[in-house]
Structure 1
Amino acid sequence: MVEVRIPCMNAGDESTSYANNSLLQKTVILKARSVLEETITDMLMTTGFPTNFKVADLGCSSGPNTFLVISEILDTIHATCQQFNQKSPEIQVFLNDLPENDFNSIFKSLPAFYQRVEGDSFGPCFVSGVPGSFYERLFPSRSIHFIHSSYSVHWLSKVPENLGSNKKNIYMAKSSPSSVYKAYLEQFQRDFSLFLSLRSKEIIVGGRMVLTFAGRSVPDPSSKDCCYVWELLTKSFLELVNEGLVEAAKVDSFDIPYYTPSEEEVREIVEKEGSFNLDKLEIFEENWDPSDDPSNKEFVFNKYRSGKNVANCIRAATEPMLLASHFGERIIDTLFNRYANHVAQHLAVEKTKCINIVVSMTKI
């Protein structure tokens, strides 16, 4: 098996960067906002108002969504303090992602962010970067009040082992043997349990955590909920194999380090690990292309535009990983052009949804 580097998003502000192709992630953040607000408000009312409130955003990536999340958290803290006639605390924000993340872009955006915060009469706010994997310790013991992560925990720490039988697939698919489903589930169980265990050491007793990640709505791990977006990418790869542009062995040896759990799997892991009470779990869906919004009366569906939007979103998340796996830079444009066309044809027939799970937890 080719070793796959766990991805950081495409850096910079190019047309295929994460910063310019993260509308889906933004939409998910906004839809999970009510859970975020309720969790922070309840925490402050339950545990009191600290003079220094420490927040960590894990898998922060870069681009506008990074400070969207932090702004939502600060607004909620400030509003709750005003409601109860409390002085706004000093806020210490830790932005975490892998060392390869585009932290330079984040730091360049800090002056504008600080100017906005100061203009809204918040208490002092201090932002710092914390490079490292959230599958390792990141913070001192019992030092963090609130942890947030959106669209990150579904990325596994590594590709599951024993996927040699998953030929002509880059992820779980209808054609995958049951051993592949089992390997993916077991890797997620290990990773998510480890994530919870590590965070339980870093967060204060009574501290809260809100996580949002891609999931699925049914028990079947090969459902369209979670797999079809990758099956269409596999189809694009196999076309390039048939044309001699990609070696078949490279497709056979490549698998996406990603897992979309069901509600039952999430509940079972949280309960078994035992460090957190699961206070709330909500599931919501979103179009593959969130700009395909029927509520917008001026919107006119164009399958090719939506196909391109989805392809750019997936490319922003996977291009470094694909290149690191030796597919080669020369095939990337061709691959994603094919992919955009396949997605367009699919969306013209069926509006498959992304399933999202948001959980709110309290450290016991």
Structure 2
Amino acid sequence: MHMNGGSGDTSYANNSLLQQKVMCLTKSIREEAIGCLFRTTLPERLAVADLGCSSGPNALFLASEFIKAVEKLCRRQKHQSPEYQIFLNDLPSNDFNTIFMSLHSFKNQLSHEMLTTHLPPCFITAVPGSFYGRLFPSKSLHFVHSSYSLQWLSQVPEGIENNKGNIYMGTRSPSNVMKAYYHQFQKDFSLFLKCRAEEVVEGGRMVLTLLGRRSQDPSSKECCYIWELLAEVLNQMVLEGIIREEEVNSFNIPNYTPSPTELKWLVRKEGSFSMNGVQVSEVSWGAACGCEQSDDNYKESAYRMAKCMRAVAQTLLVNHFGDSIIEHVFMRYQQVLAHRMSLEKPHFINLTLSLTRNTN
């Protein structure tokens, strides 16, 4: 599982405006967390980890934002600038090369925005590996960030062979499928918290954003609709004999979009972090792709949304169905999206958690 690499037309780098918009929406929460961290501790070296950084322009967004925020606080309080150690984490298959080829322009842009030619020391390191395990030495991180990554599970839940005709939790999915997905999310998210608890210093902060839902129903349209429409495309291709029914029946998306209640309960149960708050925000599908959805531009919105979803889901589809059907799938998917977006204005729901590492 990885986003489409490179810088081509279907790359994540060129189709991640949704993720960028969400990071902008949650900027105030990060700035508040950074301010609290600054008031409680200011070591000579600040270690920051961005987990699930992917590639493209968003990969260094957090690094730039963090440095600017701390430097502003340093000037205000007349403190000496710390050294910055930025860790960029994603799976080993991630396109780290594209990130590192952009470092020169990143530093130039940062200098321009900070109105200085003398940036504080900043060391950027790639850390390949799953964040559902240990990645860093004990008590080595001051700030952890993750955006649009933790909804991805470590694996497809077990025991959902009867989820036929669906590729995710759907309104027609059996009840055991819902339970299996939630159980896998509980296991993964609790392990994530446990691992970060060992790596984050006491009083350190985490800001985590993931796709979620307001509803207590895990098959709610607000979180499952985008995948149900892809399932509609695949099932139509089964009826036309393009792909086999058993291929669709054995394909499930390793993703879970939780509710605020579920997240709060899991944080309390694990016990290593205090919850400072949960923000719920939303982005319309049209705005997510750079088009404020209206009656006359839904086709353009659907075109961009199909490309966004392709950048995210293509590797999963190729690994299961092969690459010969990909163009066909996303051409049809665009048509389905256009039809639905002409009738309604669906939204993505985002949940942002602000957490503080407890003292032992």
Which category describes the TM-score, using the shorter chain as reference length?
over 0.9
Work out which of the residue numbers 36, 41, 57 in structure 2 matches 1:42: 36
Q: Match of 1:318?
A: 313
Q: Match of 1:52?
A: 45
Q: Match of 1:201?
A: 198
Letter in 2 for 1:50: P
Secondary structure of residue in 1 paired with 2:317: helix
Cα distance per residue 1:120-175 (max 9 Å; x no partner)? 34411010100001011100000000000000000000000011110000000000
Any residues of structure 2 matched to 1:121-160 within 5 Å, and which? 121-160=118-157
Q: Match of 1:292?
A: 291
Secondary structure of residue in 1 paired with 2:324: helix
Distance verdict in 2 for CA 1:223–1:114, change over 3 Å: same
Q: Match of 1:94?
A: 87
Secondary structure of residue in 2 paired with 1:148: strand
Residue 286 of structure 2 contacts residue 298 of structure 2 at CA under 8 Å; is this kept in 1? no
Q: Match of 1:212?
A: 209
**Range with bigger deviation, 110-119 or 67-76:** 110-119
Residue 214 of structure 1 contacts residue 354 of structure 1 at CA under 8 Å; is this kept in 2? yes
Q: Match of 2:108?
A: 115
Residue 292 of structure 1 contacts residue 301 of structure 1 at CA under 8 Å; is this kept in 2? no
Question: Does residue 230 of the first structure (1) align with residue 233 of the second (2)?
Answer: no
Letter in 2 for 1:30: C
Residue 56 of structure 1 contacts residue 93 of structure 1 at CA under 8 Å; is this kept in 2? yes
Q: Match of 1:3?
A: none
Any residues of structure 2 matched to 1:182-201 within 5 Å, and which? 182-201=179-198
Question: Does residue 176 of the first structure (1) align with residue 169 of the second (2)?
Answer: no
Letter in 1 for 2:291: D
- Alpha-carbon distance in structure 1 between the residues aligned to 2:156 and 2:5: 23
Q: CA deviation at 1:115?
A: 2.9
Secondary structure of residue in 2 paired with 1:77: helix
Aligned pairs, how many?
352
Letter in 1 for 2:38: L
Q: CA deviation at 1:301?
A: 4.1
Work out which of the residue numbers 64, 67, 70 in structure 2 matches 1:77: 70
Letter in 2 for 1:304: K
Question: Does residue 17 of the first structure (1) align with residue 11 of the second (2)?
Answer: yes
- Alpha-carbon distance in structure 2 between the residues aligned to 1:358 and 1:91: 24
- Alpha-carbon distance in structure 2 between the residues aligned to 1:319 and 1:58: 21
Q: Match of 1:164?
A: 161
Q: CA deviation at 1:300?
A: 7.6
Secondary structure of residue in 2 paired with 1:183: helix
Work out which of the residue numbers 349, 355, 359 in structure 2 matches 1:361: 355
Secondary structure of residue in 1 paired with 2:331: helix
Residue 16 of structure 1 contacts residue 315 of structure 1 at CA under 8 Å; is this kept in 2? yes
- Alpha-carbon distance in structure 2 between the residues aligned to 1:289 and 1:361: 31
Q: Match of 2:278?
A: 281
Question: Does residue 304 of the first structure (1) align with residue 303 of the second (2)?
Answer: no
Secondary structure of residue in 2 paired with 1:165: coil
Cα distance per residue 1:238-287 (max 9 Å; x no partner)? 11111111111010001000000000000000000000001011000001
Counting aligned pairs with the same residue, the percent is 48
Give the alignment's TM-score, normalised by structure 2: 0.96
Residue 206 of structure 1 contacts residue 363 of structure 1 at CA under 8 Å; is this kept in 2? yes
Structure 2 unaligned blocks of 5 or more: none
- Alpha-carbon distance in structure 2 between the residues aligned to 1:351 and 1:20: 24
Secondary structure of residue in 2 paired with 1:261: coil
Q: CA deviation at 1:108?
A: 0.3
Residue 275 of structure 2 contacts residue 356 of structure 2 at CA under 8 Å; is this kept in 1? yes
Give the alignment's TM-score, normalised by structure 1: 0.95
- C-alpha RMSD of the superposition: 1.2
Work out which of the residue numbers 318, 327, 330 in structure 2 matches 1:333: 327
- Alpha-carbon distance in structure 2 between the residues aligned to 1:81 and 1:8: 37
Letter in 1 for 2:105: A
Secondary structure of residue in 1 paired with 2:102: helix
Letter in 1 for 2:275: L
Q: Match of 1:4?
A: none
Residue 170 of structure 1 contacts residue 256 of structure 1 at CA under 8 Å; is this kept in 2? yes
Letter in 2 for 1:196: L
Q: CA deviation at 1:304?
A: 1.3
Letter in 2 for 1:55: V
Work out which of the residue numbers 18, 42, 61 in structure 2 matches 1:68: 61
Residue 165 of structure 2 contacts residue 231 of structure 2 at CA under 8 Å; is this kept in 1? yes
Q: CA deviation at 1:116?
A: 3.4
